[in-house]
Amino acid sequence: MSSSSEFAIDSSPNPVTSGLADRVASATPFDDAEAIAAARRGVLDYLAAAFAGAADTGYHKLFEVIAPASRGEAAAIGLAQEVSALDAALLNGYAGHALDYDDVHSSVRGHPSAVLLPALFALAQTRRSSARELLAAYVVGVETMARLGLALGSRHYEQGFHNTATLGTLGAAAAAAHMLGLSKAGVENALGLAATQSSGLRLQFGSEAKPLHAGQAARAGLLAAQLAAAGLQGAPGALDGPTGFFSVFGGGAAQPARVLEAWGTPWQIVSPGLYFKPWPCCTATHHALDAAFRLRDTYNLNAANIERITVTFPPGGDTPLASVLPETGLEARFSVEYALAAALIDGAAGVETFADEPVRQDVIALAARVVRRHDETAPRASTDPATRFSTVDITLMDGKAVSHTTRRLVSAADLHAKFADAVRHDRTLLTLPTAVEAMQSADDLAFVFQAFSRINA
C-alpha cells in the first residue's frame, strides 16, 4: 500500500501537481488485496450498468454518429465492429452512465467507474495489458478522483459543475498514465493536458447529454495520457497557482493540499469505498427511496390511502434533482417525487421504472402529492456522507401520520443478481461475473471484452 509517509516534502514551485504525479507514478496498489478485491467489484458493477445502458436511446444516437467512421482495435458495447480506442472510451463511458445506475463515490461526489474503466478498457486493448495492470490503474484512478474531490470542496458542484466530468478527466488521465508506466514528469504533463480539457455542467442533468459527460471525460483523460506519452508538452503545475485547476474551479473554497493527504492509506476504493446503486436513478433520491420502501412494507401503504408525502433533505441535499413532475423516464431519474411515487405504488424501482419513454400517469398522480422541504438546522450536504439524509413523512387519508429517516445508504446487496437482471438473464453472459472475480492475465481480460459485442444495443 502506498503511504503518504513514503513521499518527501515537495519543494517544487508546483507542489500539489508534482506531489500527485509522484504518487500516481510510484503507486503499487496490486500489493493491497483489499483494494484489488474492491476494484473487481467495481468492474462488475460497471458492466451491469453499461450493458443495461446500451439499450438507452441516447446511446443509439451516439454510436450512429461515431461508429460508421471509426475503425480500430477496441470493443464498444453493443457493436460488432471494433473502433478506435478514443471512440471506445467515449461510447463505453456513455453506456456506463446512461441509466445513472453506475457507482458513486462520496469523496468524488460523482461517478468514478463510468469514466475510468472505459478509458482503461480501451487502452488495455491497444497494449494487450493484463487484468492485473488494469485493476491497479483503476485503483489509482479512483484515488486521484477522490483526493481531488476532497480538495476541491463542495462549492465546485454547487456552482454548477458536474464532478464526474471535471474530476473524471483528471482521474482517467492519471489511471491511463499509470497503466502506460509514465514517469513522474510524464504524469504531471498528462494531468495538465487533462485539466485543460476538464468540463461538464449540471444543467445537463435529466437530458441525454449527462452521460455524454462520462464518455467525454474518459476520452479526454485517455487522450491526455497518450499525448503525454508521445511527448506533447503542456504548461507545468496545472493544479497549482492563481490560474491552476483549484483556483479556477474551486470557487475560493478549495484546499489543494488535501490531494496529497493520506494517499492510499487506505485506498479510497476501500474506504469510504464505492456505492453500488440498487436503483437506476440519481443517488440523491436513494435515502428517500430507502425510507419509502420501509414505510410501505411496515404500514402496507398504497396510492389510494396516501393523502400527502413530505420529503426532507439537508440544505443542498436535493441539488441534482432538477425534475419535479417529469414527462419521460430520463427526466424521472432526477425526480424524487417520481421515484417515491413509483416505489410506493410498485414496491420496486427498477430499470423499467426509469425507461426512456413517457412516464406512467398513475405514478405522476401520486408524485403530485409530494412536497420537498429542507432542514435548515442540519449541516449542508457535502462530500461527507454523514451530512446526507432524507426523512419521508406520509399523511394517510384517515389522518394517521407515519415517518422514517434514512441516514446511511447500503449498496446493492448482490452484484451477480444486478448483473443478471441487467443482461436479462442471458445465459451466454452469466459466466462473466465469475470471470471478472478471478481475472489476472491479458487473456482473461480479452474474454471480458469479447462479451461487449454480444450485448443488444
The CATH number that applies at residue 325 is 3.30.1330.120
Going from the C-alpha of 349 to that of each of 30, 233, 237, 369, the distances in angstroms are 36, 48, 45, 18
Q: Please check whether residues 264 and 289 belong to one and the same domain.
A: no
Average pLDDT, the chain: 95
Q: Please check whether residues 266 and 329 belong to one and the same domain.
A: no
> Residue 181: is its pLDDT beyond 70?
yes
Determine how β-strand 306-313 pairs with β-strand 390-396. Answer: antiparallel
Q: Please check whether residues 154 and 234 belong to one and the same domain.
A: yes
Q: In the chain, what percentage of residues exceed pLDDT 90?
A: 92
**Residues pairing with 201 in the sheet:** 161
Contacts 24+ apart (CB under 8 A), 294-301: 294/404, 294/406, 295/344, 295/392, 295/394, 295/402, 295/403, 295/404, 296/343, 296/344, 296/347, 297/347, 298/402, 298/404, 299/402, 301/344, 301/394, 301/396, 301/402
Domain that holds residue 384: 283-406
**What local confidence, expressed as pLDDT, does residue 457 receive?**
75
Q: Please check whether residues 267 and 288 belong to one and the same domain.
A: no
Q: Please check whether residues 205 and 334 belong to one and the same domain.
A: no
In this structure, is residue 417 part of a structural domain? no
Look up residue 180 and give its DSSP letter. Answer: H
User: What is the rounded distance in angstroms from the CA atom of residue 34 to the CA atom of residue 22?
Assistant: 23
The domain boundary, picked from 223, 251, 275, lies at 275
Q: In the chain, what percentage of residues exceed pLDDT 70?
A: 98
In this structure, is residue 195 part of a structural domain? yes
**What local confidence, expressed as pLDDT, does residue 385 receive?**
85
Mean local confidence (pLDDT), 398-411: 94
Q: Which of 301, 312, 326, 290 is nearest to 400 (CA)?
A: 301
Q: How confident is the model at residue 369 (pLDDT cuts 50, 70, 90)?
A: very high
> Residue 426: is its pLDDT beyond 60?
yes
Cβ–Cβ under 8 Å, residues 105 and 145: yes
> Residue 250: is its pLDDT beyond 90?
yes
Q: Please check whether residues 333 and 240 belong to one and the same domain.
A: no
> Residue 104: is its pLDDT beyond 70?
yes
What is the torsion angle, in degrees rounded to the nearest 10, for the CA atoms of residue 160, residue 378, residue 273 and residue 281?
A: -60
Look up residue 267 and give its DSSP letter. Answer: -
Mean local confidence (pLDDT), 264-283: 96
Q: How confident is the model at residue 66 (pLDDT cuts 50, 70, 90)?
A: very high
The domain boundary, picked from 210, 244, 275, lies at 275
Q: Please check whether residues 351 and 247 belong to one and the same domain.
A: no
Q: Please check whether residues 68 and 135 belong to one and the same domain.
A: yes
Q: Please check whether residues 247 and 327 belong to one and the same domain.
A: no
> Residue 34: is its pLDDT beyond 90?
yes
Cα 385 to chain centroid, rounded: 16
pLDDT digits (tens, 9 = 90+) for 286-335: 999 999 999 999 999 999 999 999 999 999 999 999 999 999 999 999 99
Overall number of domains in the chain: 2
Q: How confident is the model at residue 4 (pLDDT cuts 50, 70, 90)?
A: very low
**What local confidence, expressed as pLDDT, does residue 9 receive?**
52
SS3 133: helix
Q: Please check whether residues 325 and 195 belong to one and the same domain.
A: no
